Amino acid sequence: MTLTTTRLLTLCGTAAALAMFPATTSSATDVTMEFNVANFPDAANLTNPYLSYGNGETFFYKAETPDGCEWSVVHVAGLEPIDVDPGAGVNILNVREVEDFEYEDEACDGPDAAELHEKTFDWYGQDDDGNVWYFGEDTQDCNGEGDCTQGSGTWRAFEDGALPGIIMLSDPDGGERYRQEFAEGVAEDWGKVMNVNGHPELRLDDAFSGELGDCLVTKEWNDLSSGSIEQKSYCPDIGLVLVEEHSGKLVRFELVDPPTLAATGSDAFTFRVPPRN
């Protein structure tokens, strides 16, 4: 491994104190950080300018495809307890849960409960330097009839050897590469900073089609699926505005205003209400 920045990620103060990410060859700048639960005094308060999720916020992303439209509805929920030292029950870190509901919409008239095909509950926590960490996900596959089953990508940090990763750096710089998640054989994603002065062009909604500048552009990929790459654009004080998925075909998800849902009703969004705020 060629490292310009080398700080091996270890799990401080836990039973897995010697664990670290496996080496991967790269000519990029690999950024790794020590994990210490003491560095998360207010983990659920996500204030990173590129990824600031306020409790209760909802974001709508739309993609136009040859078969109609796809929607991603992202809802910022309550807290999720992460056991940093499983079994001991002494290091519980409360992080932010963010729900992502995926819909296939042939009519392009807005997401409907009958069109739900996947939902994911993601867990994020911010350290006191402003880096946003990823602590796992609960992924479910849905059949459009309200029935969902456990998906293959489910994992939780500190269980079965899984480690948290970095989903957003506090001060990203071009060329930096970082582990986003690591659960061997289940989730092995990476991110790389491609540009810190991007100007993404959005096409689907006038509300977000103006000049967007000083935006962070990242590339993300999965070591377990070499043919799938995503490029994401994050703009300061807005957050994620564009996802370009490359997996045999190009699909562009753009941030849009909430659609008019009079025809579909509010039951399209059955967000989980957690016990804590």
**What pLDDT does 59 receive?**
96
DSSP 8-class letter at 22: P
Read off the pLDDT of residues 53-63 as tens digits, 9 standing for 90 and up.
999 999 999 99
Residue 228, pLDDT > 90, answer: no
Beta-strand pair 155-156/148-150: unpaired
80, 162, 179 from 223: Cα distances, Å: 27, 15, 11
**pLDDT tens-digit readout, 39-58:** 999 999 999 999 999 999 99
- 188 contact partners, CB below 8 Å, separation of at least 6: 181, 182, 222, 223, 224
Domains of the chain: 11-259 (2.40.360)
pLDDT of 135 higher than 60: yes
Contact 126, 40 (CB under 8 A): yes
CA 73 to chain centre: 13
Residue 270 has pLDDT above 90, yes or no: no
* Mean pLDDT over each residue of the chain, to the nearest integer: 84
Say if residue 5's pLDDT is above 80: no
Give the confidence band of 264 by pLDDT, cuts at 50, 70, 90. very low
d(CA 159, CA 173): 31
Confidence band for 27, pLDDT divided at 50, 70 and 90: low
pLDDT over 70 percentage in the chain: 84
pTM: 0.84
Alpha carbon of residue 256 to chain centroid: 18
| Residue with the larger pLDDT of the pair 173 and 272 | 173
